[in-house]
């Protein structure tokens, strides 16, 4: 196997694990709500407390990770983040009986370690694949989707056992294996050669290609998409177990459908990005994501039609959202120089995951004040439309520079 394919295999596996680590949190939250008595109507506040700080820090970790990736290399950055998450997972196994406050605190540390991955891994792949970058980023995304696909089923299965806290040791063990492989494998990131006429631009760092106005618009695009994703996937298992009244195992099965659709979406999205450009792919797939969220917001009734509609909406959400991932990452790669790409990816992932964490607040408060999770799905759909409207502004302003 050549260096490029080895790089894609390692980063894809790391990407999958990071999402496996983080997507366990909503299911752990759903389990805690089932075993911990809380006043009726306050479930949304518990969801906000346990998930929003962790996912914000998950995104915040992208900022130092971008700098670390440019300074010490992506391989070491990824391994250090995994080791931090492993330690937090072991601590959660022993300290979870101290209550929701302790769990929320350890979730934050756990999430910070996982948050070091994305700028490092994505910059590693984008620098390695100068040609067919969209396809490579799409396949890197597929690795993440496999981790996301496994997370609901594995989490729901372990959490449905008698001694459910073993999930923390399981996640720590998988992280340890991958960190060991990363530290042992002898492969380094592709060295990017900068053309002489671009040397003067590289000194401008963050704004080497992305002007301040474009950076603001890009931040809004990523924050909007991040909020709609994080809000929807955090609420989905609780919506299924709380409002629909299904078992946690069924919620886990339905949760996997997001990422079944996402795997196909990643591959198609990468090809669409290479053939039709990141602007068109990102706009149309963001609009399709909004349609899927509106379908999810249709009140559920226990009929065959509603069951089929729920499954279709979840599949469509995963397919459309992840189809746009390669396009959004290609947009960032096109708007940055190789020397500062880790930093720019760090900022974009902070907007996507860190600012995106406030989608949990929006959808959680909709449950508290409006009495249902479905009103939050309306709000998430509006964020998708906003992102689709803003993307052409990025393209127009950047092409005029």
d(CA 236, CA 27): 10
Domain annotation covers residue 234: yes
Domain annotation covers residue 254: yes
* Ranges 162-171, 207-216, 265-274, most confident: 162-171
Domain annotation covers residue 197: no
Taking alpha carbons only, the member of 119, 115, 107, 31 closest to residue 74 is 119
Domain annotation covers residue 198: no
- DSSP letter for each residue of 325-353: HHHHHHHHHHTS-GGGHHHHHHHHHIIII
Q: What is the pTM of this model?
A: 0.74
Alpha helices, DSSP H, located in 243-277: 248-276
- The enclosing domain of 272 has a CATH number of 1.20.1250.20
d(CA 324, CA 234): 20
d(CA 93, CA 89): 6
When divided into structural domains, the chain yields a total of: 1
> Are the beta carbons of 327 and 289 closer than 8 angstroms?
no
The pLDDT-based confidence of 210 (bands split at 50, 70, 90) is low
- The domain in which residue 15 lies consists of 7-188+209-400
* Other Cβ atoms closer than 10 A to 399: 8
d(CA 27, CA 248): 8
Give the model's pLDDT for residue 314.
92
Taking alpha carbons only, the member of 48, 119, 125 closest to residue 350 is 119
Domain annotation covers residue 193: no
The pLDDT-based confidence of 313 (bands split at 50, 70, 90) is very high
Per-residue pLDDT of 329-340, as tens digits, reads 888 777 777 666
Domain annotation covers residue 380: yes
Residue 138 to residues 182, 277, 328, 394: CA-CA distances in angstroms?
21, 14, 11, 21
CA 154-157-158 angle, 5° bins = 85
Give the model's pLDDT for residue 382.
93
Maximum separation of any 2 CA atoms in the chain, in Å: 65
Domain annotation covers residue 214: yes
Domain annotation covers residue 200: no
Per-residue pLDDT of 135-180, as tens digits, reads 777 777 777 777 777 877 788 888 888 788 888 888 888 888 888 8
Per-residue pLDDT of 97-109, as tens digits, reads 887 788 888 889 9
pLDDT for 190 beyond 60: no
* Other Cβ atoms closer than 10 A to 196: 7
Give the model's pLDDT for residue 226.
92
């Amino acid at each position: 196997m050549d260096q490029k394919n080895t790089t894609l295999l390692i980063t894809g596996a790391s990407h999958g694990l990071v999402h496996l680590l983080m997507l366990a949190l909503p299911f752990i939250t759903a389990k805690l709500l089932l075993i911990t008595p809380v006043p009726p109507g306050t479930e949304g506040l518990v969801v906000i407390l346990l998930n929003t700080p962790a996912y914000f820090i998950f995104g915040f970790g992208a900022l130092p990770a971008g700098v670390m990736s440019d300074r010490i290399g992506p391989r070491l950055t990824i391994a250090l983040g995994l080791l931090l998450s492993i330690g937090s997972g072991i601590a959660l196994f022993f300290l979870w009986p101290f209550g929701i406050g302790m769990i929320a605190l350890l979730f934050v540390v756990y999430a910070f370690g996982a948050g070091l991955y994305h700028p490092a891994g994505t910059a590693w792949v984008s620098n390695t694949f100068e040609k067919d970058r969209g396809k490579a980023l799409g396949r890197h995304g597929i690795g993440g989707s496999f981790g996301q696909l496994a997370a609901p089923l594995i989490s729901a299965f372990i959490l449905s056992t008698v001694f459910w806290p073993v999930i923390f040791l399981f996640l720590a063990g998988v992280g340890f294996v991958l960190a060991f492989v990363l530290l042992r494998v002898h492969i380094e990131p592709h060295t990017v050669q900068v053309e002489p006429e671009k040397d003067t631009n590289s000194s401008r760092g963050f704004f080497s290609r992305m002007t301040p106005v474009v950076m603001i618009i890009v931040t809004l695009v990523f924050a909007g998409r991040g909020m709609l994703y994080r809000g929807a996937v955090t609420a989905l298992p609780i919506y299924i177990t709380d409002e629909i009244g299904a078992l946690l195992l069924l919620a886990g099965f339905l949760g996997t459908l997001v990422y079944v659709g996402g795997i196909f979406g990643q591959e198609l999205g990468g090809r669409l990005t290479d053939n039709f450009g990141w602007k068109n792919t990102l706009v149309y797939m963001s609009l399709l994501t909004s349609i899927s969220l509106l379908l999810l917001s249709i009140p559920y009734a226990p009929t065959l039609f509603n069951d089929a509609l729920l499954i279709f909406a979840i599949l469509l959400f995963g397919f459309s959202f992840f189809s746009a991932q390669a396009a959004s990452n290609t947009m960032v790669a096109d708007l940055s120089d190789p020397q500062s790409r880790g930093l720019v990816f760090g900022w974009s992932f902070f907007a996507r995951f860190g600012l995106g964490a406030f989608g949990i607040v929006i959808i959680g408060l909709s449950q508290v004040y409006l009495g249902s999770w479905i009103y939050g799905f309306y709000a998430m759909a509006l964020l998708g439309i906003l992102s689709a409207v803003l993307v052409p502004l990025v393209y127009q302003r950047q092409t005029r520079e």
